[in-house]
Amino acid sequence: MMNDQKKYEYWMEIALREAEKAYENDEVPVGAIIVFSNQIIGKGYNQIEKLQDPTAHAEMIAITAAASYLKSRRFEGCEMYVTLEPCAMCAGAIVLARIPKLIFGAYDEKSGACSSLYTIVNDVRLNHRVQTKGGVLADKCGNLLKEFFLTKARKIEN
């Protein structure tokens, strides 16, 4: 039996593969998966530029896929893994989907809404709170983002 940290890292590696797909498509490299009964039922990566849709975040795409799989808007028994701390929009969607557990990689000091800037997923004024664990494979997740933005900056300089 895997301990929690090993389990979190195992699933986060899969979310990282989704983030790498975003990177390959010149999108900000964020990936997300939703796990239910040890099975991935939803996955996604950022597709904002491709779809020209400001809501096409990895989390939103994964939530839509999982809702379709579950045939429900309530995600009881699910865990979500995201390579970057979710923003306010995604944190709100996580609460609305009643996702019980959120595990994320890198913290987002500029727009993170799960602990860094806001704590939407644990706001006692809302009718659902999410068990949250941040910092899983944070360096690996953060380095992918740093590499992406450095590459972008170099292209602008040249």
Give the residue numbers annotated as catalytic, written as ranges.
Answer: 59
Q: How far apart are CA 40 and CA 145, in angstroms?
A: 24
Q: How big is the chain by its Cα radius of gyration, in Å? A: 15
Instruction: Give the count of alpha carbons within 13 A of 46, CB side only.
Output: 22
Residues 116 and 95: beta-carbon distance below 8 Å: no
Q: 44: part of which helix (H) or strand (E)? A: strand 39-45
Residue 83 region, left (φ>0) first, then alpha (ψ -120 to 50), else beta? alpha
Residue 32's contacts (CB-CB under 8 Å, 6 or more residues apart) are 15, 18, 42, 43, 44, 45, 57, 58, 59, 61, 62, 80, 81, 82, 83
